Amino acid sequence: MKTIEQSMEEMTVLFQSSLAVFKQELNKRQVQLVSKDCDRLEMHNRRRILLIHGVPEDKNEDVAETVIKSLQQISVHSPGKYKPMPQIGINNVTKEEIKSGILLTHLTDETYRLVRNLAYPNTVESLTYNELVQILNSHFKPKQCSFVDKANFFGATRSPGESLGDWAARLRGLASYCEFGDALETNLRDRFVLGLGSGPERDKLFEQNPTTLTLTKAIEIGEQAACAREVKVMLNTSDFWAHQGRACVSCKNSPVRSGKRR
Protein backbone atom coordinates (compact mmCIF):
# COMPACT_ATOMS: atom_id res chain seq x y z
CA MET A 1 0.00 0.00 0.00
CA LYS A 2 1.10 3.52 -0.68
CA THR A 3 2.14 5.51 2.32
CA ILE A 4 0.56 8.84 3.08
CA GLU A 5 3.85 10.52 2.18
CA GLN A 6 3.94 8.83 -1.25
CA SER A 7 0.35 9.83 -1.91
CA MET A 8 1.11 13.40 -0.89
CA GLU A 9 4.12 13.48 -3.21
CA GLU A 10 2.08 12.18 -6.15
CA MET A 11 -0.67 14.70 -5.48
CA THR A 12 1.90 17.48 -5.25
CA VAL A 13 3.48 16.51 -8.58
CA LEU A 14 0.06 16.32 -10.22
CA PHE A 15 -0.92 19.68 -8.77
CA GLN A 16 2.31 21.31 -9.93
CA SER A 17 1.85 19.92 -13.43
CA SER A 18 -1.77 21.06 -13.65
CA LEU A 19 -0.88 24.47 -12.27
CA ALA A 20 1.90 24.91 -14.83
CA VAL A 21 -0.42 24.00 -17.71
CA PHE A 22 -3.15 26.28 -16.41
CA LYS A 23 -0.84 29.25 -15.98
CA GLN A 24 0.70 28.68 -19.39
CA GLU A 25 -2.73 28.72 -21.03
CA LEU A 26 -3.73 31.72 -18.92
CA ASN A 27 -0.60 33.58 -19.99
CA LYS A 28 -1.27 32.84 -23.67
CA ARG A 29 -4.83 34.10 -23.32
CA GLN A 30 -3.62 37.25 -21.57
CA VAL A 31 -1.12 37.89 -24.36
CA GLN A 32 -3.88 37.49 -26.96
CA LEU A 33 -6.18 39.88 -25.10
CA VAL A 34 -3.40 42.44 -24.62
CA SER A 35 -2.56 42.24 -28.34
CA LYS A 36 -6.19 42.84 -29.29
CA ASP A 37 -6.42 45.78 -26.88
CA CYS A 38 -3.20 47.24 -28.29
CA ASP A 39 -4.60 46.97 -31.82
CA ARG A 40 -7.83 48.70 -30.78
CA LEU A 41 -5.86 51.44 -29.02
CA GLU A 42 -3.61 51.78 -32.03
CA MET A 43 -6.55 52.32 -34.37
CA HIS A 44 -8.10 54.79 -31.91
CA ASN A 45 -4.86 56.77 -31.74
CA ARG A 46 -4.62 56.89 -35.53
CA ARG A 47 -8.09 58.41 -35.79
CA ARG A 48 -7.27 60.75 -32.91
CA ILE A 49 -4.19 62.00 -34.76
CA LEU A 50 -6.36 63.09 -37.67
CA LEU A 51 -8.80 64.89 -35.40
CA ILE A 52 -6.04 66.61 -33.41
CA HIS A 53 -4.55 67.93 -36.63
CA GLY A 54 -7.85 69.62 -37.37
CA VAL A 55 -9.29 67.54 -40.22
CA PRO A 56 -13.02 66.89 -39.58
CA GLU A 57 -14.00 63.38 -40.59
CA ASP A 58 -17.22 64.52 -42.27
CA LYS A 59 -15.52 67.22 -44.38
CA ASN A 60 -12.74 67.48 -46.95
CA GLU A 61 -14.31 64.57 -48.79
CA ASP A 62 -12.58 65.65 -51.98
CA VAL A 63 -9.22 65.12 -50.30
CA ALA A 64 -10.31 61.84 -48.75
CA GLU A 65 -11.63 60.44 -52.01
CA THR A 66 -8.41 61.36 -53.76
CA VAL A 67 -6.08 60.01 -51.12
CA ILE A 68 -7.72 57.14 -49.26
CA LYS A 69 -7.95 54.72 -52.19
CA SER A 70 -4.32 55.27 -53.12
CA LEU A 71 -3.08 54.86 -49.56
CA GLN A 72 -5.10 51.71 -48.95
CA GLN A 73 -3.68 50.15 -52.10
CA ILE A 74 -0.22 50.13 -50.51
CA SER A 75 0.38 46.48 -49.69
CA VAL A 76 3.36 44.78 -48.07
CA HIS A 77 2.61 41.81 -50.32
CA SER A 78 2.70 43.80 -53.59
CA PRO A 79 5.72 46.10 -53.46
CA GLY A 80 5.82 46.21 -57.26
CA LYS A 81 2.50 48.11 -57.30
CA TYR A 82 3.74 50.80 -54.93
CA LYS A 83 3.66 54.37 -56.23
CA PRO A 84 6.17 56.85 -54.79
CA MET A 85 4.39 59.31 -52.53
CA PRO A 86 4.57 62.35 -54.90
CA GLN A 87 2.34 60.40 -57.33
CA ILE A 88 -0.37 59.67 -54.79
CA GLY A 89 -1.88 63.14 -54.63
CA ILE A 90 -1.58 63.76 -50.90
CA ASN A 91 0.83 66.56 -51.72
CA ASN A 92 -2.19 68.64 -52.78
CA VAL A 93 -2.60 69.19 -49.04
CA THR A 94 -0.30 71.98 -47.90
CA LYS A 95 -0.32 71.68 -44.10
CA GLU A 96 2.31 69.18 -42.94
CA GLU A 97 0.42 68.07 -39.81
CA ILE A 98 -2.70 67.33 -41.85
CA LYS A 99 -0.69 65.33 -44.38
CA SER A 100 0.84 63.22 -41.59
CA GLY A 101 -2.58 62.64 -40.07
CA ILE A 102 -4.13 61.60 -43.38
CA LEU A 103 -1.23 59.28 -44.15
CA LEU A 104 -1.25 57.50 -40.79
CA THR A 105 -5.01 57.26 -40.51
CA HIS A 106 -5.72 55.78 -43.91
CA LEU A 107 -2.93 53.24 -44.24
CA THR A 108 -4.11 49.65 -43.91
CA ASP A 109 -3.43 48.00 -40.56
CA GLU A 110 -0.75 45.78 -42.09
CA THR A 111 1.07 48.67 -43.76
CA TYR A 112 0.78 50.78 -40.61
CA ARG A 113 2.47 48.02 -38.59
CA LEU A 114 5.20 47.80 -41.22
CA VAL A 115 5.86 51.55 -40.94
CA ARG A 116 5.86 51.27 -37.16
CA ASN A 117 8.40 48.43 -37.26
CA LEU A 118 10.61 50.20 -39.78
CA ALA A 119 10.51 53.39 -37.70
CA TYR A 120 11.56 51.60 -34.50
CA PRO A 121 12.85 52.81 -32.02
CA ASN A 122 11.08 56.05 -33.03
CA THR A 123 7.29 56.19 -32.87
CA VAL A 124 5.31 57.00 -36.00
CA GLU A 125 3.56 59.86 -34.21
CA SER A 126 6.92 61.57 -33.61
CA LEU A 127 7.90 61.53 -37.30
CA THR A 128 7.19 64.28 -39.80
CA TYR A 129 5.30 63.66 -43.01
CA ASN A 130 8.52 63.73 -45.04
CA GLU A 131 10.13 61.20 -42.69
CA LEU A 132 7.13 58.87 -43.04
CA VAL A 133 7.28 59.23 -46.82
CA GLN A 134 10.99 58.43 -46.78
CA ILE A 135 10.36 55.26 -44.78
CA LEU A 136 7.74 54.05 -47.27
CA ASN A 137 9.72 55.02 -50.35
CA SER A 138 12.92 53.47 -49.00
CA HIS A 139 11.18 50.20 -48.16
CA PHE A 140 9.20 49.72 -51.38
CA LYS A 141 11.46 51.41 -53.91
CA PRO A 142 13.77 48.96 -55.74
CA LYS A 143 17.33 49.46 -54.61
CA GLN A 144 20.57 47.99 -55.86
CA CYS A 145 22.02 45.56 -53.36
CA SER A 146 25.39 46.40 -51.84
CA PHE A 147 27.71 44.80 -49.31
CA VAL A 148 26.65 47.50 -46.86
CA ASP A 149 23.05 46.29 -47.09
CA LYS A 150 24.10 42.69 -46.49
CA ALA A 151 26.36 43.75 -43.62
CA ASN A 152 23.41 45.54 -42.02
CA PHE A 153 21.28 42.42 -42.39
CA PHE A 154 23.79 39.84 -41.17
CA GLY A 155 24.94 42.13 -38.36
CA ALA A 156 21.45 42.85 -37.05
CA THR A 157 20.57 41.71 -33.53
CA ARG A 158 17.38 41.78 -31.53
CA SER A 159 17.04 44.94 -29.44
CA PRO A 160 16.26 44.73 -25.70
CA GLY A 161 12.50 44.63 -25.20
CA GLU A 162 11.82 44.04 -28.90
CA SER A 163 9.11 41.42 -29.46
CA LEU A 164 9.86 38.40 -31.64
CA GLY A 165 7.31 39.59 -34.19
CA ASP A 166 8.86 43.05 -34.42
CA TRP A 167 12.33 41.52 -34.66
CA ALA A 168 11.24 39.34 -37.60
CA ALA A 169 9.56 42.32 -39.31
CA ARG A 170 12.69 44.45 -38.93
CA LEU A 171 14.79 41.69 -40.47
CA ARG A 172 12.41 41.42 -43.40
CA GLY A 173 12.75 45.16 -43.94
CA LEU A 174 16.57 44.89 -43.99
CA ALA A 175 16.39 41.88 -46.32
CA SER A 176 14.36 43.83 -48.87
CA TYR A 177 17.59 45.52 -50.00
CA CYS A 178 19.70 42.36 -50.26
CA GLU A 179 18.25 40.53 -53.28
CA PHE A 180 18.43 37.13 -51.62
CA GLY A 181 16.07 35.56 -54.15
CA ASP A 182 15.23 31.95 -53.33
CA ALA A 183 17.49 32.10 -50.26
CA LEU A 184 15.37 34.82 -48.62
CA GLU A 185 13.42 32.64 -46.17
CA THR A 186 16.52 30.65 -45.21
CA ASN A 187 18.54 33.78 -44.52
CA LEU A 188 15.66 35.33 -42.59
CA ARG A 189 15.32 32.23 -40.43
CA ASP A 190 19.06 31.98 -39.76
CA ARG A 191 19.46 35.65 -38.86
CA PHE A 192 16.32 35.52 -36.73
CA VAL A 193 17.75 32.69 -34.64
CA LEU A 194 21.38 33.83 -34.51
CA GLY A 195 20.48 37.42 -33.73
CA LEU A 196 18.32 36.63 -30.72
CA GLY A 197 21.08 36.79 -28.14
CA SER A 198 21.53 34.36 -25.27
CA GLY A 199 18.39 33.16 -23.54
CA PRO A 200 15.81 30.35 -23.45
CA GLU A 201 14.39 31.32 -26.84
CA ARG A 202 17.70 30.85 -28.63
CA ASP A 203 18.58 27.76 -26.57
CA LYS A 204 15.32 26.10 -27.62
CA LEU A 205 15.80 27.04 -31.28
CA PHE A 206 19.36 25.68 -31.25
CA GLU A 207 17.84 22.25 -30.52
CA GLN A 208 15.83 22.32 -33.77
CA ASN A 209 16.78 20.75 -37.10
CA PRO A 210 17.70 23.57 -39.53
CA THR A 211 16.61 21.50 -42.54
CA THR A 212 12.97 21.49 -41.40
CA LEU A 213 12.74 24.71 -39.39
CA THR A 214 10.91 27.61 -41.07
CA LEU A 215 10.85 31.24 -39.98
CA THR A 216 7.20 30.95 -38.96
CA LYS A 217 7.93 27.87 -36.86
CA ALA A 218 10.99 29.55 -35.34
CA ILE A 219 8.85 32.50 -34.20
CA GLU A 220 6.29 30.10 -32.73
CA ILE A 221 8.92 28.07 -30.84
CA GLY A 222 10.60 31.23 -29.59
CA GLU A 223 7.29 32.59 -28.27
CA GLN A 224 6.57 29.28 -26.53
CA ALA A 225 9.99 29.34 -24.86
CA ALA A 226 9.43 32.92 -23.72
CA CYS A 227 6.01 31.97 -22.38
CA ALA A 228 7.47 28.99 -20.49
CA ARG A 229 10.05 31.27 -18.89
CA GLU A 230 7.32 33.63 -17.70
CA VAL A 231 5.34 30.71 -16.29
CA LYS A 232 8.42 29.52 -14.41
CA VAL A 233 8.88 32.96 -12.91
CA MET A 234 5.23 33.05 -11.85
CA LEU A 235 5.48 29.59 -10.29
CA ASN A 236 8.54 30.61 -8.31
CA THR A 237 6.71 33.62 -6.92
CA SER A 238 3.18 32.19 -6.60
CA ASP A 239 1.28 31.69 -3.36
CA PHE A 240 1.74 27.96 -3.80
CA TRP A 241 5.34 28.33 -2.65
CA ALA A 242 4.58 30.90 0.03
CA HIS A 243 3.64 28.13 2.47
CA GLN A 244 7.04 26.41 2.50
CA GLY A 245 8.19 25.74 6.05
CA ARG A 246 4.67 25.92 7.48
CA ALA A 247 2.66 23.07 8.87
CA CYS A 248 0.89 20.90 6.32
CA VAL A 249 -2.64 22.22 5.82
CA SER A 250 -4.03 18.69 5.47
CA CYS A 251 -2.55 16.95 8.50
CA LYS A 252 -1.46 19.95 10.63
CA ASN A 253 1.78 18.20 11.47
CA SER A 254 5.29 18.51 10.08
CA PRO A 255 6.28 21.46 7.88
CA VAL A 256 5.91 21.51 4.11
CA ARG A 257 9.07 22.09 2.10
CA SER A 258 9.26 22.10 -1.71
CA GLY A 259 5.75 20.68 -1.81
CA LYS A 260 6.66 17.61 0.27
CA ARG A 261 5.49 16.71 3.77
CA ARG A 262 8.34 15.58 6.00
- pLDDT tens per residue across span 212-253: 999 999 999 988 888 887 777 777 765 544 445 544 433 334
Residue 114 contacts residue 76 (beta carbons within 8 Å): yes
Spatial distance between the Cα atoms of 51 and 243, rounded to a whole number of angstroms: 54
CA 245 to chain CA centroid, nearest Å:
41
Whether residue 67 is predicted with pLDDT greater than 60 in this model: the reply is no
Summarize pLDDT for 160-197 with one digit per residue, the tens.
888 888 999 999 989 988 888 889 999 999 999 999 98
The dihedral built from the CA positions of residue 158, 222, 168 and 127, taken in this order, carries a sign that is negative
pTM, whole model, 2 decimals? 0.42
Spatial distance between the Cα atoms of 102 and 51, rounded to a whole number of angstroms: 10
Alpha helices in 54-183 (DSSP H): 61-72, 96-106, 109-119, 129-140, 147-154, 164-175
Partners of 260 in the beta sheet?
Answer: 257
The residue among 120 and 145 whose pLDDT is bigger is 120
Give the model's confidence band at 262: pLDDT under 50 very low, under 70 low, under 90 confident, else very high. very low
Query: DSSP assignment of 19-60, as one string?
Result: HHHHHHHHHHHHHHHHHHHHHHHHHHHHHHHHHHTT--TTS-
76 phi, psi to nearest 5 deg = -70, -20
**CA 176 to each of CA 19, 26, 93, 112, 193: distance values in angstroms, whole numbers, following the listed order:** 44, 37, 31, 17, 18
Nearest to 222 by CA among 143, 167, 176, 151: 167
Which residues lie below 8 Å from residue 244, measured CB to CB, with a gap of 6+?
Answer: 255, 256, 257, 258
Pairing type for strands 256-257 and 260-261 reads antiparallel
Query: Which helix (H) or strand (E) covers residue 232, if one does?
Result: helix 215-237
Q: Counting every residue, how long is the chain?
A: 262
pLDDT at residue 167 in the model: 92
What are the boundaries of each domain within the chain?
21-140, 147-241
